[in-house]
Structure 1
Amino acid sequence: MDNVIFKKNPFVRHQAINGVVHLVLQYDMFKLNDVGTRIWECIDGTRNVAGIVDMVQREYPDASDVADDVYAFVADLQKNQLIAPA
């Protein structure tokens, strides 16, 4: 998964409500925490997953298991059809 580049589903709407980012696809809504929001912002169709892991590790140096968390979150986004390989 490290070298996979993802793009956002163009039908996903995202909006910040009271500082919390919500993703909406059809009738499903997903709330993102700060790290999830940062990962979402990094999914731009040009960065691979390894690059996203590196960026999150730099921005959250005290977090543990960053790589595993990013992989799990990206897999969850893909499973829910919020992203797809570019």
Structure 2
Amino acid sequence: MPQYAYLIAGTDPADDRDEDRRVMSRGTQTLPDGQDPATFAADRLAQNRVEHSYYTGPRRIAYWPHEPGTPLPRTAPANAQHIDG
């Protein structure tokens, strides 16, 4: 089963904090065989909107394949896929 890392950050252009200071959530998840990573990411982004309802601005999830046991980076790597929401 593939493992994916994700990073969700606010993308409000008025927020002048550095990218790594805008992060609301990050983590990894093992996806069941056959689950589309984009579906996982969209679901995780929707869940984040509920969990962090105090932030009403735009946000983005970056997701990418992740090797188990390796540390998560502070910002998304260049090969990450993105969904805005």
Q: Same fold per TM (> 0.5)?
A: no
TM-score, normalization by structure 1: 0.36
TM-score by length of 2: 0.37
**Which protein has the bigger helix share?**
1
Higher strand share: 2
